[in-house]
Structure 1
Amino acid sequence: MDRDNPLGLSPTDRATAKAAYDDAVVIDCSNVGIVDPWLDRPIQEQFFDKMIQGGVTVSNVTVPHSSSGAVNAVKELRAHRTWIATAADKAILCLTVDDIRRAKREGRAGIIFGPQGTDLIEDVVEMVGFVHSLGVRIMQLTYNTRNYIGDGCLEPGNAGLSLFGRDVIRAMNEYGIVVDLSHCGDRTTAEAIEASANPSIFSHANARAVYDHPRNRTDDQIRAIAEKGGVICLTPYSTFVRERTGSAAPLDALAAHLDHVVNLVGVEHVGLATDINENNETRRIWHRHEHPDLVGDARHHNYPVGFDGDLRKYGVFSELLVKLGYTSDQIGAILGGNLVRVFETAWGKR
């Protein structure tokens, strides 16, 4: 395989893919950033540099990442706001759709705060407005286990949405925080989609009909989220693409999920998300560079060859979409246009 052209596209098709990519607002709808006090500033800024070099307009970053309650969450939100403010030449905190467009226009890294769970609000619904004021614009209702709101996808009881959870969703709709259901249990997912007046999203998940994994979503769930205007963001993270076979799933394996969902609900309800933990992937990329003999070893490869968990190579997804026969307009929608539509509904058109 040619690592620089993993899909074997012709020069004409590669040029078509690049043109569509360059025109698009590109949104990676799930990404774990790299903000740690012990890191040197250049390493912290590497995340922004990778986004800019890779043409990724916006990342939905797991902020806060901590699951230890409101106080630590506020500290983390403050640290990330400082991280962005002190690199204003490279980054912008996206609080509005205009901020997303500005990030594209100015070639800066747009950051959305999108925690994977609701530990940051504890059991206080009024905290929804407070975390919105600190920059949260997407919030996952549960992680894998049970919380005050409902059940995660690994809870065997599969309980539904709590009364508190319904109050939280109403508050999220009121303030303009997108409801994210990526890790929710099946019953909580169904009830949350119904309860939300605004479109919901799966920020990073694949189709369970293609690969039966508890983190993937059923056809009924995908249809339900699409019927209310939402989006499922498919991920190349191998664990959710196919069963492990000794190496990472190739790019073509992701295509099976993409075509299944498009055939099910249409192009307008599909997005993309890498689910990269940047701290871990930075180490893996360095390790593979220093030890090329390990390339392809399942222990060191969570992403397909050609992307390799490196945001600088995000454009390969545009090449995959060209190979699959999608038009430039459809590619732009999948890369980020569909999510912009959801954000306009939830946040307002500004």
Structure 2
Amino acid sequence: MPPHSADDVAGLIASWRERIAADERLRPAVSVDDVEAAGCAGDVAVAFDLEDSGPLDGQLDRVRHFYDLGVRTMLPSYNNRNMVGGGCLDEVDDGLTTYGRALIREMNAVGMVADGSHCGARTGLDMCEVSEQPMIYSHSCMRSVWDHPRNITDEQAKECAATGGVIGITGVGIFLGPNDATVDALVRHIDYAVELVGPEHVGVSTDYPFDHEDFNAMLEQSPELFPDCYTRWGPINFMPPEGLLSVEDALLARGYPNDAVAAILGGNFRRVAGLVWQ
């Protein structure tokens, strides 16, 4: 799928800001204080994430432009190689390009979190090497638990943790197991990641698309857009956001301390935002 242009992204952000303003349950978030204020009021804080650096079109000054529009995290590549680096579905990943390394440094300078989800393994490792701030895998599962190209290796997880970052286990069925979008499957990945890098470097990110029926219809109508590892099980199952309540119960039942559960269910990502966002 071709990336959106910079103007497309600006238009999408403007549209979403209108939707947020029209819903009293939602609040725009450009700082950690905004997130905490929303939480105290029982509202949902909304920050923007750009899942591909394509809209930058090679112009590093656009990092600041998108940051000013509210984008707080960005993925250098989405599944396939671009001018920044490799994607997780590429057969060969040569890592970050010279421009890609400059992009990570610019994101550090601006205060935008670098996110290795959807990137190739070598590109993700290079991101950890270059970044002077914590980087994250915002929505990725563990390849040692379920061998899928969208999942990350133990080495990737360890290097991410070494930056002070967080791996967000995601509730997408095909990444958790054989289209297994259950709490038990998600907790298996959490357990493995916690054993590998510690609870301070693990989070949860459901990656739940509220238009999932449209997404599954697109997969059925255009299977060439994704490889067999996405399409072989038919419609993709997703764990809904309310499943997080059951995740909390499951972690407590397994003996996780209250503070570790709080960290996994948001505290660790809040820490990274506090360190990186400006």
Q: TM-score, normalised by structure 1?
A: 0.71
1:98 maps to 33
Question: Does 1:260 find its partner at 2:195?
Answer: no
Match of 1:274 among 186, 194, 206: 206
**Residue 311, structure 1, aligned to residue 210, structure 2:** no
Does 1:70 pair with 2:6? yes
Unaligned stretches of 5+ residues in structure 2: 217-232
Note if contact 2:206-2:240 (Cα within 8 Å) is conserved in structure 1. no
Query: Aligned partners of 1:119 and 1:68: how far apart in 2?
Result: 7
- Residue 205 of structure 1 aligns to a residue in which SS? coil
**Aligned twin of 1:82:** 18
Going from structure 1 to structure 2, the CA distance change for 1:313 and 1:213 (only over 3 Å counts) comes to: closer
Larger Rg: 1
Per-residue deviation, residues 80-123 of structure 1 (Å, max 9, x unmatched): 12221233x22111100001100101111111100111122111
- What is the CA RMSD across the aligned residues, in angstroms? 2.0
Counterpart of 1:226, as a letter, is: A
CA distance in 1 between counterparts of 2:215 and 2:178 reads 24
Does 1:178 pair with 2:110?
no
Q: 1:57 — aligned with what?
A: none
Deviation for aligned residue 1:186: 1.2
In structure 2, what is the equivalent of residue 165 of structure 1?
A: 100
Task: Report if the CA contact (8 A) 1:66-1:73 is conserved.
Answer: no
Seq. identity, %: 36
Q: Secondary structure at the match of 1:315?
A: helix
1:276 CA displacement: 1.0
CA contact (8 A) 1:281 1:310 kept: no
- Distance across 2 between alignment mates of 1:300 and 1:206: 19
With structure 2 as the length reference, what TM-score do the two structures score?
0.89
SS of residue matched to 2:46: strand
Whole-angstrom distance in 1 between the partners of 2:97 and 2:236: 39
SS class of match (1:77): helix
Aligned residue among 60, 63, 67 for 1:132: 67
Q: 1:312: how far off?
A: 3.6
C-alpha displacement of 1:219: 0.6
Secondary structure at 1:114 match in 2 = strand
Change (3 A) 1:331 1:78: same
Q: Which string of whole-angstrom CA distances, capped at 9 and with x for unpartnered residues, describes residues 267-300 of structure 1?
A: 000000111111125999xxxxxxxxxxxxx756
Listed one character per residue, the Cα deviations across residues 171-206 of structure 1 (whole Å, up to 9, x for unaligned) are: 111111000000111111111111011000001111
Q: Out of 42, 45, 54, which is 1:119 matched to? A: 54
Measured in 2, the distance between the counterparts of 1:337 and 1:281 equals 31
Structure 1 residues 267, 75: CA separation in 2 closer, same or farther (over 3 Å shift)? Answer: same
Whether contact under 8 Å (1:204, 1:234) holds in the other structure is: yes
How many angstroms apart in 1 are the aligned matches of 2:245 and 2:185?
A: 17
Write out the 4+ residue segments of structure 1 that deviate beyond 4 Å after TM superposition. Answer: 281-284, 298-301
SS in 2 for 1:92: strand
**Change in CA separation of 1:109 and 1:282 when aligned onto 2, cut-off 3 Å:** farther
The one-letter amino acid of 1:239's match is I
Compared CA separation, residues 137 and 330, structure 1 to 2 (3 A): same
Aligned ranges 1:199-210 → 2 under 5 Å: 199-210=134-145
How far off is 1:235 after superposition?
Answer: 1.4
CA distance in 1, matches of 2:57, 2:183: 39
* CA–CA separation in structure 1 for the residues paired with 2:156 and 2:3: 27
Q: Distance in 2 between matches of 1:283 and 1:239?
A: 14
Distance (Å, rounded) in 2 between the aligned partners of 1:277 and 1:205: 15
Deviation of residue 166 (structure 1)?
Answer: 1.3
1:18-55 Cα offsets, whole Å, 9 max, x none, are: xxxxxxxxxxxxxxxxxxxxxxxxxxxxxxxxxxxxxx
Q: Distance in 2 between matches of 1:313 and 1:206?
A: 17
List runs of 5+ in structure 1 lacking aligned partners.
1-64, 285-297, 304-308
Given the alignment of the two structures, is residue 188 of structure 1 paired with residue 123 of structure 2, yes or no?
A: yes
Partner of 1:8: none
Alpha-carbon distance in structure 1 between the residues aligned to 2:242 and 2:168: 19
Q: How does 1:1-12 map to 2 (within 5 A)?
A: none
Aligned counterpart, 1:328: 258
The CA deviation at 1:311 is: 2.5
Q: Distance in 2 between matches of 1:120 and 1:316?
A: 37
